[in-house]
Amino acid sequence: MQFNSIRFKASVLYSVILAVILTVFSSVIYFGARNILYHDLDEDLKIKAEEIAGILSAYEQIQHSEGYPLARILQMLSNKGISKNQSVVIDDLWKSEIKTLNLKNDYISVANTQGHALLVSNNFTQKINSLFRKQFPSFSREVSYKSLLNDKFKLRAIALPVSYHRSQLVIEVGTPLEPVLKILNKILVFIIASVIVVLVLTSFIGSIFARDALKPVLAVANLADNITHKDLTARIGEQQVDAEMKHLVHSFNGMIYRLEQSFNHISEFSSHVAHELKTPLAIIKGEIELVLEGDENPEEYKNVLEKCLEETDRTIRVIKDILLLARFDYKPDVFKFEKFKLIQFLEEIYEHSQVFASSKNIEVKLDAPKKNIFVNGDRVHLRRLFLNLITNAVKFTPRKGEIGISIRVKDSKAYVDISDTGEGVSSADLSKIFNKFFRVRKDEQTAEPGTGLGLSIALSIAKAHKGDIKVKSRLHEGTTFTVILPLA
């Protein structure tokens, strides 16, 4: 696994997050168990101290003496140094209670309010006494618990204030912490081992999950490596892909589809361009060769030069139209938008159209509402759009025909219909009418040759204005182009 791979980073991130969660959870478990164990131990110490206080008080009442019972009871509590004669006076009840307390391993001290130990158990050495005095330096009327720790001893102790013979004493009981610490160490070892095992397993499982999750990415990469301009038909299946990856796969497939369409368009466009430029160049070349081979008079030379000039002009028009389409596709900033009155603008178009329609005695009619209609657009390019459509209508309309220009408004859009009474377009040709270099099959006597780019340019201009062009046509009845533009 590579260290700089997404799979590795995802696995590490997953493991780190899980480690943090497990550490927090384990800490809560460990310290919770520690608090419970210490609380239980403190409760046990309190019970022992209270029982000792009760025994001292009871024994005092039985013996009716002042001070001597302390030593005797303390000896009994530690199970050491009790003679037979001394134990006779102690009731069986007290013997039973003392035995129940199990104080054999505990450290017991009875101290005054100044902190001086009056009586201690036999195992209460000077070192133990120093530990107690360090943790319980002064008298307190509240029960207090302390942990007494040094290199040799680890104790948990209680200091319980009691009243004895009209004076205040403190009963101190310390018990070894080793049993509790052993339990806590076992819990800690178990937690650490469990966390390590869980992290190892989850890292392994997480790596597998990451690999499976990234399979679509690898599929995208492998497909991208194998894609060439010769074959753009490959796609990645989206059926068994997660939602997030499905979006990636869908986007990638969409990109491949758009690339395929672009390459097909470029291939088709290049083929058409080559054909369109090849024809006039071949004509020019043929005319020149005829002149060079023959012995024509000046009139023939003039005819040849006129044909060459005509074909040159046509080639220039094709190149200009191609460049214009390229600018529309790749440089949308060529449009300079401004708000203007559409009716007034179309009236100017109408006046120009009457001029070049008059050569075929075609009547042009304008049907426009009287209210103002405003649009945002580039006047220069919109002028080209409408003149292209009207020129096209004049070209395919027979003499003494009619061309109509009408404007209507609907749903915040302006609809400009340009209709003619020409020969119409077949349904087979209608779907391809906006394709670049496409020419409708025509009667040579009623139509003039064009570049096949006029309608493509018109549609590109409409799209740049967030509009569209629709077309309806019936053979031998005429054609209607509808330009749709959003209102300002």
The answer to whether the beta carbons of residues 285 and 308 sit under 8 Å apart is no
Q: Hey, how many other C-beta atoms are within 10 angstroms of the C-beta on 167?
A: 9
> Do the beta carbons of residue 15 and residue 203 sit within 8 Å?
yes
Is the pLDDT at 428 greater than 80, yes or no? yes
What are residue 216's phi and psi, to 5 degrees? -60, -35
Tokens (6 digits) for 319? 């190149």
Q: Give yes or no for residue 2 having a pLDDT over 70.
A: no
Which residues are registered as beta bridge partners of 417?
Answer: 406, 482
- What percent of the chain stands above pLDDT 90? 29
The continuous run of DSSP H or E covering 167 comes out as strand 167-176
- Could you read off the pLDDT of 315-341 as tens digits, one per residue? 887 777 777 776 666 556 678 899 999
Topology of the domain comprising 335-486: Heat Shock Protein 90 (3.30.565)
Residues 6+ apart with CB under 8 A from 151: none
- Residue 185, exposed/middle/buried by CB under 10 A (0-12, 13-18, 19+)? exposed
Greater confidence, 310 or 405? 405
Q: 226: burial class by Cβ within 10 Å (0-12, 13-18, 19+)?
A: exposed
Q: Measured on CA atoms in the order 97, 102, 105, 108, is the torsion positive or negative? A: negative
**Closest listed residue to residue 341, CA positions, set 301, 312, 382:** 382
Q: Token pair of 442, please?
A: 């025509």
What is the spatial distance between Cα 138 and Cα 51, in angstroms, rounded to a whole number?
23
Please report, for the chain, the start and end positions of each structural domain, with discontinuous segments joined by +: 6-183, 243-330, 335-486
Q: What is the CA radius of gyration of the chain?
A: 53
Position 447 confidence tier, pLDDT thresholds 50, 70, 90: very low
- In angstroms, the CA 315 to CA 158 distance is 110
- Listed in sequence order, the DSSP H helices in 64-138 are 68-77, 84-88, 92-101, 126-135
Better-predicted residue by pLDDT, 174 or 289:
174
The predicted structure's pLDDT at residue 75: 55
- Is 243-330 assigned to CATH 1.10.287.130? yes
DSSP letter (8 states) at residue 360: G
> Which residue reads 């071949």 in tokens?
282
Give the pLDDT band (50/70/90) at residue 294.
low
Instruction: State the average pLDDT for the chain.
Output: 81
- Following DSSP, what letter does each residue of 399-440 receive, concatenated? TT-EEEEEEEEETTEEEEEEEE-S----HHHHTTTTSTT---
Dump pLDDT digits (tens) for 143-181. 999 988 887 888 999 999 888 767 788 888 999 999 999
CATH superfamily of domain region 6-183: Two-component sensor protein CpxA, periplasmic domain (3.30.450.210)
Please list the alpha-helical segments (H only) found in 294-331. 298-330
Burial of 28 (C-beta count, 10 Å sphere; 0-12/13-18/19+)? exposed
Query: What's the pLDDT at 317?
Result: 77
Asked if 54 and 99 touch (Cβ cutoff 8 Å), the reply is no
Confidence of residue 304 (pLDDT cuts 50, 70, 90): confident
The residue among 213, 229, 218 whose CA lies nearest residue 252 is 218
pLDDT of residue 90: 45
pLDDT on residue 344: 93
Sign of CA dihedral 309, 313, 314, 316: positive
pLDDT value of residue 60? 61
